[in-house]
Chain A
Amino acid sequence: MDLVQYILYLGYALLIIGTLGAILGPKVEDPLIRFLNVEVPSIGVALIFLTYDEDLALMTFIAVNAILSLILIRALILKEKYESE
Chain B
Amino acid sequence: MENIIYSLYHPTMIIGFSVGILSLLAIGFQKDDLHALILADVVECAMLVIIAGVGTDLAEALILPGLVVSLAELLAVSEVLITRKHIQSKNHDSKKFKLFEEFKLPLHTGELKYDIEMEVLKTSPKFFAIILIVYGAILSGFTGGAVIATGLLFYALSQRVLGLNISDDVKTLWEGMAGLSGVAWAFWIFGFLGFFLFPKYWLVCLLMSGLGLVIKVGSKLGLVGYIGEVK
Contact = CB atoms under 8 A, between A and B. Distances in A.
A42 B88 CA distance: 33
Nearest to A19: B19
Interface in A49-85: 49, 51-54, 56-57, 60-61, 63-64, 67-68, 70-72, 74-79, 82-83, 85
Given A48-B12, A64-B67, A71-B78, A85 B49 contact: no
Contact of B38 (A34, A52, A78): A34
Secondary structure type dominating chain B contacts = helix
A19 B52 CA distance: 18
A22 to B, nearest CB: 6
B135 interface: no
Contacts of A31: 32, 34-35, 38
B125 interface: no
Contacts of A48: 12, 49, 52-53
A35 B40 CA distance: 11
Interface in B70-118: 70-71, 74-75, 78, 81-82, 85-86, 88-91, 94, 97, 99-100, 102
B23 A19 contact: yes
A50 B52 CA distance: 10
Contact of A57 (B35, B42, B52): B52
A4 B52 contact: no
B163 interface: no
Interface stretch (B3-11, B179-187, B192-200): B3-11
Contacts of B90: 85
Interface string A6-35: 001000100110111011000000010011
A78 B37 CA distance: 15
A82 B97 CA distance: 11
B34 A75 contact: yes
B55 A23 contact: no
B45 interface: yes
B204 to A, nearest CB: 24
A31 B64 CA distance: 28
Contacts of B68: 60, 64
Interface of A: 2, 4-5, 8, 12, 15-16, 18-20, 22-23, 31, 34-35, 38, 41-42, 44-45, 48-49, 51-54, 56-57, 60-61, 63-64, 67-68, 70-72, 74-79, 82-83, 85
27 contacts: A5-B4, A12-B15, A16-B15, A19-B19, A19-B23, A19-B45, A35-B38, A38-B39, A41-B19, A41-B42, A41-B45, A42-B45, A45-B48, A48-B12, A48-B49, A48-B52, A52-B52, A52-B53, A54-B55, A64-B67, A72-B38, A72-B78, A75-B37, A78-B85, A78-B97, A83-B89, A85-B89
Given A20-B22, A70-B100, A85-B94, 7 more contacts: A22-B42, A31-B38, A45-B48, A63-B150, A64-B68, A72-B38, A78-B97
